[in-house]
Structure 1
Amino acid sequence: MSDRRALGWAGTALAPAMALLTAALLGRAWSACDVGTNNAANGTFLLLLFVPALTLALLLLWLASVGLLGKHPLICAMAGGALVLTASWCAISLLWGGTTYYCPSGVPPWWPGVVPAPGF
């Protein structure tokens, strides 16, 4: 039972942290490419709507992996981590800004070339 409790605490810490990191990355990309109305409106959306919704979705994914694979803590942690990373990447891809004047390719200038740009 202590393994499940530890996995629960890990998910409780991981979900909001990953949601905040995802929002920060998305906000930086929007700011660099001049996407949206302005930075205040984008930040308000990210802080008040995006972060709580993504935290809840990531926490539910983590809890689903614990519920299904709770008897195998290492596999559960790896599967939960993969689910959380995949869901964050999908959230970034859905809200990633398109091509703009400042980012003709749709990718900010600071984005590393070895990491594929988000998008479906």
Structure 2
Amino acid sequence: MAVGLTLAVVTAMFLGRAWNACDVGVNNAANSGFLLWMFIPGLWSVLLLAWVAVGALLGDRPRLHAGALVVTLIGLVWCVISIFWEGATPACPSGVPPWWPNFLPAPGF
């Protein structure tokens, strides 16, 4: 439960920072309101359901269970970032914020 909430908050902070760097949205207050009141609870619910589903499918195999949870949760977070990253590309010249590391592929690409 705490893992899902932590991932949801980190993802919202990451998206907020990317949107801020690329001037996406109405203003920071509107973006943060969406991220705080709609995005975090929605993503937390999805991550919690994925956690329960993987746990129910794999049962009592701790190593396989842990590995599958990590891959599933990171995959879901990457997909969500890719969906909401789309708005950040037009305002930034290279399609990514200036602080994004060059060796990592940008979400959605």
TM-score normalised to the size of structure 2? 0.95
Q: Report the equivalent of 1:99.
A: 90
CA displacement 1:49-76 (0-9 Å, x = unmatched): 0000000000100111100002201111
Question: What is the identity, as a one-letter code, of the residue corresponding to 1:38?
Answer: N
1:27 equivalent to 2:8? Answer no
Q: Distance in 2 between matches of 1:62 and 1:105?
A: 35
1:77 equivalent to 2:66? Answer yes
Helix, strand or coil at the partner of 2:108: coil
1:40 equivalent to 2:42? Answer no
Q: Distance in 1 between matches of 2:66 and 2:51?
A: 9
What is the Cα deviation at residue 98 of structure 1? 2.2
The count of aligned residue pairs is 107
- After the TM superposition, which parts of structure 1 deviate over 3 Å for at least 4 consecutive aligned residues? none
Helix, strand or coil at the partner of 1:91: helix
Q: 2:54 aligns with which of 62, 65, 81?
A: 65
Helix, strand or coil at the partner of 1:111: coil
CA displacement 1:17-76 (0-9 Å, x = unmatched): 000000000000000000011000000000000000000000100111100002201111
Aligned-residue sequence identity (percent) comes to: 52
Which runs of 5 or more structure 1 residues have no equivalent in the other structure?
Answer: 1-11
1:111 equivalent to 2:100? Answer yes
User: Cα RMSD between the aligned structures?
Assistant: 0.8
Which runs of 5 or more structure 2 residues have no equivalent in the other structure?
Answer: none
Q: Report the equivalent of 1:3.
A: none
Q: 1:52 aligns with which of 27, 36, 41?
A: 41
Rg larger for? 1
Q: Distance in 1 between matches of 2:17 and 2:59?
A: 36
Q: Distance in 2 between matches of 1:81 and 1:19?
A: 14
